[in-house]
Amino acid sequence: MIDPFVLLAFIPAALALNLTPGADMMFCLGQGLRSGGRAALAASAGISAGSLVHVTVAGLGLGAAMQAMPWLFDVIRWVGVAYLLYLAWGAFRAQAEADETLPIAPRRAFRSGFFVNLSNPKVILFVLAFIPQFVDPAHAVLPQFLIFGLVLAIGGFVINGLVGLFAGGAGRRLASSGPARTWLGRISGVIFAGLALRLAFLERAS
């Protein structure tokens, strides 16, 4: 059982973290620009689902394996880099092959968001650094991790989803122009490629 006062202290801290622009927010922005609000919301849901997996793994204590085996961190990181570059290539290719950007189905956007979050090893290290500050070791640790993780996931879904919806609305207004459609695809591709570079140069926590 979590102390209500601890939970009340955790919520604004989690909200502040959710409001900080980061890779998840930029990913939803790119999905919204390219495929609209529905895809952005689905991507945000996928990101939140991925974060819950990270929280569960951290709560089980498996996150320590990543710190003990540096190669595991690098394997996960480079898989994520490759996937983001694949998404960037797809966004650029869509503009090269057609005048109109093909929207991504929400189901595919969910999978993309889930995998992008899951393949970022920094997330589990962040969870291990942040959530234990609020965990009471006198009680079962995993349920507390899951509750705090759910708060983070819900807040992230709402905030990232709103960013994606805003981008989707802007994208719809611009999509009526052929040159604007081309630039929307290019912007999405640049965002995904930028996220890949960010992940490629990510350093392990000391």
Comparing 144-148, 158-162, 192-196, the range with the smallest average pLDDT is: 192-196
Residues 167/40, Cβ–Cβ less than 8 Å: yes
* Mean pLDDT score, 116-125: 81
Q: Give the whole-angstrom CA distance, residue 79 versus residue 51.
A: 17
* Mean pLDDT score, 65-92: 73
Q: For residue range 18-58, what is the model confidence (pLDDT) as tens digits?
A: 887 778 888 898 888 878 889 999 999 999 999 999 999 88
Top pLDDT among 115 and 192 is at 115
Looking at residue 72, its pLDDT comes to 67
Question: What pTM was estimated for this model as a whole?
Answer: 0.73
Q: For residue range 122-135, what is the model confidence (pLDDT) as tens digits?
A: 787 778 778 888 88
Backbone conformation region of residue 139, classed left if phi is above 0, alpha if psi is from -120 to 50, else beta:
beta
DSSP string, 165-182: HHHHHHHHHHTTSHHHHH
Looking at residue 100, its pLDDT comes to 46
Q: Give the whole-angstrom CA distance, residue 199 versus residue 201.
A: 5
